[in-house]
A = this chain, B = another copy of it.
Amino acid sequence: MELPSKLVENAVNEMAQLPGIGKRTALRLVLHLLKQPLEQTEGLTNALATMRKDIQFCQTCHTISDAEICGICANPSRDKAIICVVEDVRDVMALENTGMFKGVYHVLGGKISPIEGIGPSQLKITSLVEKAKLGVITEIIFALSSTMEGDTTNFYIYKQIKDLAIKTSTIARGIAVGDELEYADEVTLGRSLLNRIPFETSIRQ
């Protein structure tokens, strides 16, 4: 794609480095900005630059935060003895939306993935293990995605904490609420059968 201007070409190339944005989409976005008032581009670039420079991560759970300790960790009514291990801040948001979890989180920042070159040292695993050794935590809930990478990460962490007196659990895998059985894959269906729950429990939820 030959562009008529070096300035546009640079902007398109930078934009196209974002995930899921190809050169054509990048060009459309860039041309849109050119049609809008200067203020819109300034607003966008300032917001991105400030965010990238000034962003903080909670010192306890490593989620994105505007303060040294995030709102969840700072909340005295949250149970600090129950830690839910997640991949990134989007998972925290999704779990918070349920309104069902009263513990705190630990954001790993990714999953162990040899293909993408992500090893345990690039994730916040050490600080989780250290936290566990302090003896305050009673339960660790693994809430990573149910993929090979997620399972590997769960197991890697589990090996390091299994000798401590901490209960470990993972969120339930099963048929999504509202889903039809015939469209579920066999692994999920099989697991939902193995991990069946008392009917009395289910009607109370």
Contact = CB atoms under 8 A, between A and B. Distances in A.
Interface in A86-110: 88-90, 92-93, 96, 109-110
A interface majority secondary structure: helix
A65 interface: yes
Contact of A53 (B5, B17, B30, B38): B38
Nearest to A54: B7
Given A3-B93, A49-B42, A20 B31 contact: no
A4 B47 contact: no
A91 to B, nearest CB: 11
A203 interface: no
Interface in A30-79: 30-35, 38, 40-56, 63-66, 70-72
A4 B44 contact: no
